[in-house]
Structure 1
Amino acid sequence: MSTIYLNTIIKADIHYVFDLARNIDLHQQSTAKTNEKAIAGRTSGLIEKNETVTWRAKHLGVYQNLTTKIVSMEAPNQFTDEMQKGAFKSLKHQHIFKSVNGKTLMTDVFEFESPLGIIGKLFNALFLTDYLRKFLLQRNELIKAIAESSTHEGIAIF
């Protein structure tokens, strides 16, 4: 199992950052490079506990579908999604939020396992972990930019 840890400090209210992080429309904006689209389950707005979303995206030159489910949620402190169907052997993404001196610390704990045993582990080490880290950083940069903008233009969260 491979794990990516990311911490992002955002100068915004924890409730607002929490909602941005679970916003389907914002996620689609942040993944424009892979043409990621929500095609089933919750396809727009704020995803809630026990809801699923199926994403279709082009990664590594191949279109793939990935269905995740929000398996836990405690607003505004955390939510966790887990893969229900997709190319990974397993995938779990914990989103953790803490209020620190008027700012929000957003932490991602992204655990994944590729299929194909040792070949999958080698692929993770040589390529996939870095690819996914960059993918998550792009998402986090957009969340930060929107949350810290004075106008909050470009995304409706409700």
Structure 2
Amino acid sequence: MPHFEVVTAVPAPPDLVFAACLDVEAHTRSMAASSERAVDGRTRGELLLGETVTFQARHFGLTWRLTARITSYNPPRRFVDEQESGPFKRWRHAHHFEPDGSGGTVMKDVIDFASPLGPVGRIVDSVVLSRYLPRLIRIRNAYLASTFG
């Protein structure tokens, strides 16, 4: 299964960064380039354990919907969201937050994903999504970090 990690320095304490990463509206602002919006579940405010949100966005010229549930929640250190329905065979995104020793946060995103369609999906994962998805996470994280800077 494809796996990647993105580490980002954020100039704010872990509790604030943790909350910002669970904020639905902050997420949609960070993904404005793909016209992302929350269309079901919690569509405003901060997600909590067990809650879902359905995002709709345009990627590769197509409109996609992904419903994610918060399946693990340990403020302000870690939470996990997992796809309940959407384009992936599997999507698991663990968010980790550690103090950097100078008032900021080291944020680490750990993502495991897999496309459907067997061998065709594995080719899409290795040729396209293994580059595209880390870039999306870096864009989101740069936006988030800039809101604290």
TM-score by length of 1: 0.91
1:132 is matched with which residue? Answer: 133
SS in 2 for 1:64: strand
* C-alpha contact (below 8 Å) 1:89/1:114 kept by paired residues: yes
- The runs of at least 4 aligned residues of structure 1 exceeding 6 Å deviation read none
| CA deviation after TM superposition for structure 1 residue 16, in Å | 0.7
Identity %: 34
**1:62-108 superposed Cα distances (whole Å, 9 cap, x missing partner):** 11111000001000000000000011101000000011212211000
**1:120-144 superposed Cα distances (whole Å, 9 cap, x missing partner):** 1111111111111111111000111
CA distance in 2, matches of 1:106, 1:20: 12
After TM superposition, list the pairs within 5 Å mapping 1:49-128 onto structure 2.
49-102=49-102, 103-128=104-129
CA distance in 2, matches of 1:146, 1:18: 13
SS in 2 for 1:46: coil
Give the partner amino acid of 2:40: A
Unaligned runs of 5+ in 1: 149-158
* C-alpha contact (below 8 Å) 1:97/1:105 kept by paired residues: yes
Give the partner amino acid of 1:25: E
2:20 is matched with which residue? Answer: 20
1:155 is matched with which residue? Answer: none
Matched pairs, number: 148
Q: How large is the Cα RMSD of the aligned pairs?
A: 0.8
CA distance in 1, matches of 2:66, 2:12: 30
Unaligned runs of 5+ in 2: none
